[in-house]
Amino acid sequence: MNRIDARGRCLCGAVTLEASVDEKVGACHCKLCRSWGGGPLFALDGGNQMRIDGDAHVTRYQSSERAERGFCGRCGSHLFIRVLASGRLVLPVGLFALDRELRFDHQIFIDRKPSFYTFADETRCMTGEELFAQAARGKSPAA
């Protein structure tokens, strides 16, 4: 797994993030992610460490028994999902200017993907059940 030191920011610039992210982009098709952003979430594995400047503008919302989501309270930009049990961070890829360094690698909750879209890229695909089984073994989908 190749890690990249990345710096990103919300739309209004009130919040900046610094994290070491995996180069592999994943897409999540779960109902929560699709409701949160209006479509699949394209995200990076941010590990367990992140520096936030502008934390006073971050609003946190526990969206399930497993995770909390953070967003900018000024502009509404999605900033992170934090898995409560492990502290693992999932970071929206759009926060970072890393287009050339990244590659679309995997899709999760493929069993919940609506039929009206399909991606042309060949990726690893996991159902929700497969994802939770992998997480129970301590692995991220990007591994």
Q: Which domain holds residue 77?
A: 3-136
User: Is the pTM for the entire model greater than 0.85?
Assistant: yes
Question: What are the C-alpha distances in Å from 88 to residues 85, 100, 129?
Answer: 8, 24, 18
**Residue 84 in domain:** yes
pLDDT recorded at residue 140: 72
**Residue 143 in domain:** no
Q: Say how far apart CA 3 and CA 46 lie, in whole Å.
A: 9
**Residue 132 in domain:** yes
Cβ atoms 77, 61 nearer than 8 A: no
Q: Say how far apart CA 99 and CA 68 lie, in whole Å.
A: 26
**Residue 43 in domain:** yes
Query: Which CATH number belongs to the domain containing residue 19 in this structure?
Result: 2.170.150.70
**Residue 127 in domain:** yes
Q: Say how far apart CA 16 and CA 46 lie, in whole Å.
A: 14
Tens of pLDDT, residue by residue over 65-121, are 999 999 999 999 999 999 999 999 999 999 999 988 899 999 999 999 999 999 999
67-72 sheet: strands from edge to edge: 58-62, 67-72, 78-83, 89-92, 41-45, 24-28, 103-108, 124-126
**Residue 19 in domain:** yes
Domain total for the chain? 1
Tens of pLDDT, residue by residue over 124-141, are 999 999 988 887 787 777
Q: Is the pLDDT of residue 143 over 60?
A: no
**Residue 70 in domain:** yes
Tens of pLDDT, residue by residue over 5-62, are 999 999 999 999 999 999 999 999 999 999 999 999 999 999 999 999 999 999 999 9
pLDDT recorded at residue 79: 98
